[in-house]
Amino acid sequence: MSGQTAIRIDRLGKRFGAGPLVLDDVNLSIETGEFVCLLGASGCGKSTLLNLIAGLDRPTTGSIDVPAEGAAVMFQESALMPWLTARQNVELALRLRGVARTARRTEALELLDVVNLADAAEKRPHELSGGMRQRVALARALAQDRPVLLMDEPFAALDAITRDLLHEELERVWRRTGRTIVFVTHNVREAARLGQRVVLLSSRPGRVAGEWRIDTTERRRIESPEVAALSIEITEQLRKEIRRNAA
Amino acid sequence: MSGQTAIRIDRLGKRFGAGPLVLDDVNLSIETGEFVCLLGASGCGKSTLLNLIAGLDRPTTGSIDVPAEGAAVMFQESALMPWLTARQNVELALRLRGVARTARRTEALELLDVVNLADAAEKRPHELSGGMRQRVALARALAQDRPVLLMDEPFAALDAITRDLLHEELERVWRRTGRTIVFVTHNVREAARLGQRVVLLSSRPGRVAGEWRIDTTERRRIESPEVAALSIEITEQLRKEIRRNAA
Amino acid sequence: MPHDATLLDERDAAARAAAADLARTPEASARTADHGHDDLRSLEAGLDRLQTSPDRAPSAWRRFTTSVLPPILFVVALIAAWQLYVVIAQPRPDIVPGPVDVFNAIVLGWESGRLQLAVITSLERGVVGFLIAVIVGTPLGLLLAEVKPLRRAVGPIISGLQVLPSVAWVPAAILWFGLTDATVYFVVLMGAVPSIVNGLISGVEQVPPQLRRVGTVLGANRTRLATLIVLPAALPGYVAGLKQGWAFSWRSLMAAEIIAMGGTIGFGLGSMLQQSRELADIGGVLATVLVILVIGILIELAFFAPLERRMLRRRGLLQGGTR
Amino acid sequence: MPHDATLLDERDAAARAAAADLARTPEASARTADHGHDDLRSLEAGLDRLQTSPDRAPSAWRRFTTSVLPPILFVVALIAAWQLYVVIAQPRPDIVPGPVDVFNAIVLGWESGRLQLAVITSLERGVVGFLIAVIVGTPLGLLLAEVKPLRRAVGPIISGLQVLPSVAWVPAAILWFGLTDATVYFVVLMGAVPSIVNGLISGVEQVPPQLRRVGTVLGANRTRLATLIVLPAALPGYVAGLKQGWAFSWRSLMAAEIIAMGGTIGFGLGSMLQQSRELADIGGVLATVLVILVIGILIELAFFAPLERRMLRRRGLLQGGTR
Amino acid sequence: APQSAAGQTAAADAAATTEPAAELRLGYFANVTHAPALVGLEEGLFADALGDTELTTQVFNAGPAAIEALTAGAIDATYIGPNPSINTFIQSGGQSAHIVAGAATGGAALVVREGIDSAKDLAGTTLATPQLGNTQDVALRSWLADEGYETDTTGGGDVHITPTENAQTLTLFQQGGLDGAWLPEPWVSRLLADGGRGAHVLVDEADLWEDGAFPTTVLLVRAEFLAEHPETVEALLEGHVASVAWLDEHADEASTVINSVIEKDTGKPLADEVITRALEHVTFSVDPHAETFETLVENGLEAGTQKDGSIDGLFDLRLLNTLLEADDGEPVSAGGLGEE
Ligand SMILES: Nc1ncnc2c1ncn2[C@@H]1O[C@H](COP(=O)(O)OP(=O)(O)OP(=O)(O)O)[C@@H](O)[C@H]1O
Ligand SMILES: Nc1ncnc2c1ncn2[C@@H]1O[C@H](COP(=O)(O)OP(=O)(O)OP(=O)(O)O)[C@@H](O)[C@H]1O
Ligand SMILES: [Mg+2]
Ligand SMILES: [Mg+2]
């Protein structure tokens, strides 16, 4: 499984209408089963890049290769359908994937159990806390059963305690399902905590400004010294990028 | 200056209407110029405690002593008046403090300069980023010129990069102005990064469940090993508290 | 670190192998597969418990005393003051009738059967007209909401039509359809359709773009996106439009009934109002105004309010949803 | 760690001393006082620059082609189709007049001076009635918004009154005031005041409680809280109420003018409409309907739309505000 | 009630406590049955009689509007039909107005389409009247009741009665939406002339009344005005009596004078044949035929268009009778319903 390329981005450029260049000459190749964190300051084009990978938008120049099955996506807002219960939200994904009506319910409940939400299956999004909503969104993304999972700052709106927990949750799911994950964040420690590889994007235009690989990803905690050390290094580079924009 | 008690909380209890006890037998004494972080899970009563200190609500039992001049408060949402510019928002605080009309403008601009926002003085809140808005709110709180500053998760809604920066900003302001600061958060690392003392509140009802004092508060960074070590310790205790609620 | 430096380390094979290992565990029976999962599970359960507080709906008695009782008391006080004034000041009964006169007028109308007839006629017309408006307005609204160039062209015109008082259509309708029920229905349609169309358009416009994107990501085609996501999401706006459409139907109906009397037009509340006016019967006029008001409020309370409340509560858009 | 354990360490004196040291620096001249402040300053500047993108207002030309041109083209096409139909199908001109006939009716009305008279009379009445409604509704709304028991009692009644079609007041008003301008103003008031009051109430209700608390924390007393914070914050709701109040004024005015004709009531657009109907002059009827529609739209475009837009833009509530 | 009492005693001690009004506001319809008003205005007879009191006029289309204006104090006196007068008197508990003179009698008929030749043919038809509860409406309802038909005020029953504006009635009759209508002049004549569809008179209201005399138009004065300015009312009556006399004397000129006022007020004159026929069927007289009013009330009650109540005191004919006596004329009777 290892070594196969899941996503290949080649000399990618993106510009909205007549606006400035948002992404410029981005080259990236992500292996199957890899957990890559995309890091960058606000407005540097992280979401744009993710949307391009997801096929929600088309590149201006360059090319993107993704698996034929496509990618599942999770956003910062859980974007659950507010009129459906947690289970029905997951079932919607199954239905759109083409799962037979009879199998949907069981599978949805199983997926909710994966994110420890079996008890909240019949609750509606507004009855769930932010962390629970994101876990439902994760279950929904898993329901799509696509080899690639794209995540756009999925934990940014959560409080720190919940976020720490969901880091563990996500790592567990990743290890268990072997998905290829591209995780967008502007939290340096989060990237250092989660990723096997951290890719730093520069701003205006977005370019790859740095890349770090983490050797041992098991038993990491956000307080681990190796995470802190890497964070200091990445922060240094990131602040350099930010300072470039002050002038 | 050291050693004087700024805030003394004595056997404090709070209950809303006929609801359950939210705060129970809270005892706390905060010295003048001290930076105390109040830490606790969601809904444990941190905001309730802060509102009681601020005088926005009255305790059910027990007593709170605060300096006669009262306290300035900062909330999670900047709560700036959307129809006023940054400068006018600060001037509003000055006006309500009783500063003469002629002096207000200069003082407001000086305060905005303290938070590095002199250039954005004439912008309205919606034209500012979240981080800039919170800095305006900080300037407004400083404009009140009260010895105590209460902050209720002021940086929780910001992205990590901005938050790290505002930590430095707040520390700088604290050192420069010598305010007594009570800072509410549920981010363990934030508490360990900022406070001279961290107070952990338990949930349902809220009680003081632990207290840590930090020796050297200078040149701390959020990635510093001593912050990480303390975080691990506090997290341990906090998770114990949370787990208590699972049953 | 220079701008284009990359720190690549190829020694991640071990971690990858471990991941692959775990991936082989079937999802369904995963309950206890992971190491430390139980710990996580209890932590998450605790946090979930802490972060969701059960909806405590206010007690029925409290709701009654805070929101039902005060207006009733106010109305009773108002009536008492009115009766007192009439008793003390003895105004001319053809200018200021007492509450008793108005009540008598209602009783009289009831006993003669005119009131029931008028209420039934008006309600029937109002409801039928409203239903026709819904049938006409819904596809029109959907069309405009989904076809953007069309919306740009027709949308402002429809909004403009909402500004036009529907009474203004009465004279034209009388010329076109004579004094027949067609006139009444035409006026009702001209009043209600723009509201319904606008409600639907704004409902669709207010669908968070994120929901559409999720739909696309989940693999929905155009039709399924519309039926499974856009339409349910636009429901609150649609219901608001329907509610407003009903208000306009009722208004327009009354206008049409008051102005277009005679011919083959049946006897509705508007006609009754106008008749009372012609007989200089102020008691009858006020009684009819009261009936019109009460019916308007009743329809809203009995039909639209619960519909809207249920929908909003399901979506947590009503006060009482915790977050 | 046991439940009540506390880890107190008293060796924070050094840090405290340092803080006290720095606190002595006067605030005003603090620009370069802190160590590393310049570094922070440049970082913050960079971040601020990155996180705020300048509002790029769409070009006037683009706004014209996307939102002004399409409805105009649509109307032109509609008129062309109508004329074509009239030319080809030759319908009876007293049932379906051509656009040319309607245009001629307008020209005729203009040349005889009746159109100007009607427009001026109606506009004057509408504006005067609306202003009275504002003068009556604003204090009433403020009172209801600020005195909670009163709001509980009277609020539902006022909302209910909004459901009552204002035409229903016309017969009663005629009985009370005869065919005089007082009748017209009464009907306009009954239509507009509830909207304005409701707008103000909901505006005040929608003031984020956080803003009130900030006001209290900043040391505002009751009066200053109301004038400096609650009122400006309630402005959007108030303006929305005013806009709706105007729409109701205009509607009610037309209803009153159409039904209450003769007497000393001046000659307004409603009267003109009714006259055209009595003369079976369908061209005149449609011409008047058109004038009523255009005036309604114009007032909204020329007065309320810019007012509302400016206010919303200042508060960043309009699309175009970045965050 | 005090006001009413004041009104009744006012005329007696008028000279002592009152003075002429500065202005008299008079209402009338631009209609053949209101000819005394039209002639009095056109020939200046009112102006002569009123002297310093300024006369302003208001034209109404229907009785209710005139009553509303009277009630609201927007006019002081009006020419009007008997039923609206009865209505306002009863509704106000006798405080609103008094009839001070008659103006016209006769001139109402049921016109029907071809194929309806007797009352038997009316079953299931739709008939129009000018207005619910007005003289013709009540007449039609009581006549139908006598013929054994049931009707009601909501348009139901064996014969459907739909009160419809006169102009609309003509259009609807032409289009076939109505089978007939009980109308006053000049609409009877207009329907006969322009209605088509074999329009003919089925019932002439004159045939239903003793002597063929029934009130069509009376002169109604606001009670307060009558109490405060009896001199002015007397002057108005003087002009009114002169008008009626003029109409009597100038029968040939009358149609031209009337038509010119109608044209002035409505923009359209009546056709010559219409006005000629109309005038043939209307009689102008200052006698209000008070004796018929009890019957009118009974009919109204039966028809359900009237509230029950006393009309005692509706008439105040003292000023009229003073004038008539001075001219050596016969006094008119209040039929026991008021002062004579
Ligand atoms: N649809 C669009 N049309 C025009 N410009 C766009 C569009 N989407 C994004 N942009 C611009 O592209 C740039 C990058 O946006 P993007 O949302 O990808 O940034 P980001 O890195 O995700 O930022 P954040 O961290 O705030 O989410 C921004 O300057 C933004 O203004
Ligand atoms: N005004 C109120 N009326 C009734 N209950 C209240 C009120 N305010 C707070 N509570 C309850 O008190 C408890 C503590 O609330 P509080 O807002 O102080 O928690 P918190 O620690 O600030 O939580 P968070 O981290 O989510 O801000 C909660 O259970 C809440 O439901
Ligand atoms: Mg983004
Ligand atoms: Mg809180």
pLDDT-derived band of residue C8, with 50, 70 and 90 as boundaries? very low
Both B123 and B210 in a single domain?
no
Among all residues of chain D, which has the CA nearest to that of A203? D50
pLDDT at D318 over 80: no
By three-state DSSP, how is residue E60 classified?
A: strand
Q: Domain check: are B24 and B59 in the same one? A: yes
Full 3-state SS string of chain A = CCCCEEEEEEEEEEECCCCCEEEEEEEEEEECCCEEEEECCCCCCHHHHHHHHHCCCCCCEEEEECCCCCEEEECCCCCCCCCCCHHHHHHHHHHHHCCCHHHHHHHHHHHHHHCCCHHHCCCCHHHCCHHHHHHHHHHHHHHCCCCEEEEECCCCCCCHHHHHHHHHHHHHHHHHHCCEEEEEECCHHHHHHHCCEEEEECCCCECEEEEEECCCCCCCCCCCHHHHHHHHHHHHHHHHHHHHCCC
Residue E153 has pLDDT above 80, yes or no: no
- Residue A75 placed within a domain: no
List subunits contacting chain E, requiring 3 or more Cβ pairs under 8 Å: C, D
Q: Are A16 and C3 in contact (CB under 8 A)?
A: no
Interface list for chain D against chain E, based on CB atoms closer than 8 Å: 174-180, 261-264, 278, 280
Of B183, B191, B204, the closest CA to residue B233 belongs to: B191
Is A76 domain-assigned? no
Mean pLDDT of E216-241: 88
Q: Give pLDDT, residue C57.
A: 63
Contact predicate B195/B214, CB 8 Å: yes
Residues 251-280 of C with CB under 8 A from D: 251-252, 254-255, 258-259, 270, 273-274, 276-277, 280
Cα dihedral A32, A35, A40, A46, rounded to 10, equals 50
Q: Minimal Cα–Cα distance from C214 to chain E, Å?
A: 59
Q: For residue C25, what pLDDT band results from cuts at 50, 70 and 90?
A: very low
- pLDDT for C319 equals 54
Chain C residue with minimum CA distance to E154: C267
According to the model, what pLDDT value does residue E12 have?
45
Q: Are residues D179 and E73, on separate chains, in Cβ contact within 8 Å?
A: no
- Tell whether ligand 2 has an atom less than 6 A from the beta carbon of residue B22: yes
Chain C contact present for D36, CB below 8 A: no
Residues B173 and B208 in one domain: yes
User: Is residue B28 within 8 Å of residue B37, measured between CB atoms?
Assistant: no
Cα distance between residue B188 and residue B233, in whole Å? 10
For a mutational test of ligand 2's pocket, the pick from B22, B208, B242, i.e. the residue with the most ligand atoms closer than 8 A to its C-beta, is: B22
Cβ contact (<8 Å) for E133 and C278? Answer: yes
Q: CATH number of the domain at A160, please.
A: 3.40.50.300
The 10s digit of each residue's pLDDT in D258-284 is: 887 766 677 889 888 888 887 778 888
Q: In which residue ranges of chain B is pLDDT below 70? A: 1-3, 247
Sheet of E200-204: strand order equals: E160-163, E126-129, E180-184, E108-112, E200-204
The b-or-e profile of A156-171 (16+ CB within 10 A means b, else e) is bbbbbbbbbbbbbbbb
Domain around A104: 81-145
Mean pLDDT of the C268-295 span: 87
Residues facing B202 on adjacent strands: none
Determine whether B133 is exposed, middle or buried from the number of CB atoms within 10 Å of its CB (0-12, 13-18, 19+).
buried
User: Could you say which residues from 82 to 121 on chain A have a Cβ atom under 8 Å away from some Cβ of chain B?
Assistant: none
Q: Which long-range contacts (CB under 8 A, 24 or more apart) does B13-22 make?
A: B13/B59, B13/B60, B13/B61, B13/B62, B14/B45, B14/B48, B14/B49, B14/B52, B14/B57, B14/B59, B14/B60, B14/B61, B15/B60, B20/B204, B20/B205, B21/B205, B22/B48, B22/B205, B22/B206
Q: Inter-chain contact C233–A83, Cβ cutoff 8 Å? A: yes
In the predicted structure, residue E149 carries a pLDDT above the cut 60: yes
CB C284 within 8 A of CB C109: yes
Q: Nearest CA to E30 among E278, E274, E263?
A: E263
Tens digits of pLDDT across chain A (247 residues): 456 888 888 888 888 887 788 888 888 888 888 899 999 888 888 888 998 998 888 888 888 888 888 888 888 888 888 899 999 999 999 998 888 888 888 889 988 988 888 888 888 888 888 888 988 998 998 888 888 899 998 888 888 888 888 888 888 888 888 889 999 998 888 888 888 899 998 887 888 888 888 887 777 787 777 888 888 888 888 888 888 877 6
Please, which pLDDT band fits residue C76 given cuts at 50, 70 and 90?
very high
Are D46 and A204 in contact (CB < 8 Å)? Answer: no
pLDDT at D1 exceeding the cut of 80: no
For tokens 């007492």, name the residue: C98
Q: Which of D123, D113, D109, D90 is nearest to D279 (CA)?
A: D109
Grade residue C10 by pLDDT with cuts at 50, 70 and 90. Answer: very low
Residues from chain D that touch C286, judged by Cβ atoms under 8 A, are 172
Please say whether the beta carbons of E63 and E84 come within 8 A. yes
Same domain (yes/no): A44, A95: no
Length of chain C counted residue by residue: 323
pLDDT digits (tens, 9 = 90+) for E37-89: 888 888 888 888 888 888 888 888 778 778 888 888 888 899 998 888 888 88
Q: State whether E71 and C95 contact (CB < 8 Å).
A: yes
Interface contacts (A, B; CB < 8 Å): 61
In sequence order, what are the residues at sequence separation of 6 or more whose Cβ sits closer than 8 angstroms to the Cβ of residue D281?
Answer: D105
Taking the C-alpha atoms of residue A160 and residue A140, their distance in angstroms, rounded to an integer, is 23
Are B156 and B137 in the same domain? no
* Contacting residues of A for C57, CB less than 8 Å apart: none
Q: Do D280 and E69 touch (CB under 8 A)?
A: no
Distance CA B229, CA A51 (A): 38
| Contact residues, chain D, for B174 at CB < 8 Å | 19
Statement to judge: residues A158 and A210 lie in one domain? yes
The pLDDT-based confidence of D248 (bands split at 50, 70, 90) is confident
**A201 shares a domain with A90:** no
Q: How far is the CA of B49 from the centre of ligand 2 (A)?
A: 9
8-state DSSP, B56: S
Say how many domains are in chain A: 2
A190 phi, psi to nearest 5 deg: -60, -45
Tell me which residue in C20, C28, C31 faces A33 most closely, judged by beta carbons: C20
Contact (Cβ atoms closer than 8 angstroms) between residue C174 and residue C260: yes
- DSSP3 helix / strand / coil % (chain D, rounded to 5): 75, 0, 20
Q: For chain A, which chains pass the contact test of at least 3 CB pairs under 8 Å? A: B, C, D
Contacts of E44 (CB under 8 A, 6+ apart): none
* Domain ranges within chain D, ordered by starting residue: 58-90, 99-314
Look up residue A10 and give its amino acid: D
A116 and C40 in contact (C-beta within 8 Å)? yes
Cα(A42) to centroid of ligand 1, in Å?
Answer: 8
Mean pLDDT of the E253-263 span:
83
Q: Whose CA is nearest to atom 29 of ligand 1?
A: A43
Q: pLDDT of D146-191, one tens digit each? A: 888 888 888 888 888 887 888 888 888 887 887 788 888 999 998 8
Beta strands B61-65; B5-15: pairing state = antiparallel
A188 touches chain B (CB under 8 A): yes
Give the residue from A125, A145, A165 where a domain finishes.
A145
Confidence of residue D54 (pLDDT cuts 50, 70, 90): low
Q: What are E95-127's pLDDT values in tens digits? A: 888 998 888 888 888 999 888 888 888 888 888
Residue listed under structure tokens 């009546």? E270
Residue-by-residue DSSP string for C53-77? ----PPPHHHHIIIIIHHHHHHHHH
Identify the CA nearest to C83 among candidates C66, C110, C65, C104.
Answer: C104
3-state secondary structure at position D261: coil
- Residues with C-beta less than 6 Å from any ligand 1 atom: A 16, 19, 22, 40, 42-48, 186; D 53
D139: cis peptide before it, omega within 30°?
A: no
The amino acid present at A202, given as its one-letter code, is S
Residue E255, beta-bridge partner list: none
Contact D50 A204 (CB under 8 A): yes
In the reported structure, the alpha carbon of residue C187 is separated from the centroid of ligand 2 by a whole-number distance in angstroms of: 53
Going by C-alpha positions, the residue among B90, B110, B83, B76 that lies closest to residue B186 is B76
Q: How far is the CA of D102 from the centre of ligand 1 (A)?
A: 52
Identify whether residues B175 and B240 lie together within a single domain. yes
Angstrom CA distances, D106 to B130, D253, D313, stand at 56, 21, 38
Return d(Cα D260, Cα D283) in angstroms, integer: 22
The number of the ligand 2 atom at minimal distance from the alpha carbon of B76 is 27
Is residue A62 located within the same domain as residue A157? yes
E72: nearest CA partner in chain C:
C95
- pLDDT per position as a tens digit, E277-335: 888 888 888 888 888 888 888 888 887 777 778 888 888 888 888 888 887 777 777 77
d(CA A30, CA A5): 6
Question: Residues C162, C168, C170, C172: what is their CA dihedral angle, to the nearest 10 degrees?
Answer: -110
Q: Quick one: pLDDT at residue C145?
A: 85
Tokens (6 digits) for D106: 């307008």
Best CA proximity match to E163, nearest among E173, E175, E153, E149: E153
- DSSP H helical ranges for D260-281: 269-278
d(CA C96, ligand 2 centre) in Å: 55
Residues A216 and A194 occupy one common structural domain = yes
pTM: 0.81
Check CB contact under 8 Å for D50 and A239. no
pLDDT at D27 over 80: no
Write down the number of H helices and E strands in chain D: 15, 1
How many contacts (CB atoms, under 8 Å) link B and D? 175
C-alpha of residue B60 to centroid of ligand 2, in Å: 15
- Out of C44-58, C275-289, D113-127, E206-220, least confident range: C44-58
Contact between chains at E177 and C263 (C-beta distance less than 8 A) = yes
Rounded CA separation E186/E33 (Å): 8
Please count the residue pairs, one from chain C and one from chain D, whose beta carbons lie less than 8 angstroms apart: 153
pLDDT on residue C54: 63
| Each residue's pLDDT tens digit, D283-302 | 888 999 999 888 888 888 88
Whole-angstrom distance, CA of residue A83 vs CA of residue A89: 9
Same domain assignment for residues B152 and B64:
yes
The distance of D224 to chain C (nearest Cα, Å) reads: 29
Q: Are A188 and A239 in contact (CB under 8 A)?
A: no
Task: Evaluate whether E123 touches C316 at the Cβ level (below 8 Å).
Answer: no
pLDDT tens for residues D198-241? 888 888 888 888 888 888 888 888 888 888 888 888 888 888 88
Q: Cβ contacts of residue E55 below 8 Å, gap of 6+? A: E23, E24, E26, E46, E47
- Fold observed for domain C99-314: MetI-like fold (1.10.3720)
pLDDT for position D322: 33
Last residue of a domain, one of A128, A145, A162: A145
**Ligand 2 binding pocket includes B89 (Cβ within 6 Å):** no
The pLDDT value given to residue C36: 64
Q: Which two tokens stand for residue A55?
A: 């096929």
Nearest listed ligand to the Cα of residue B48: 2
- Per the domain annotation, does B75 fall within a domain? no
Phi, psi of B124 (to 5 degrees): -90, 155
Q: Which atom of ligand 2 is nearest the CA belonging to B153?
A: 27
Same domain? B123 vs B178: no
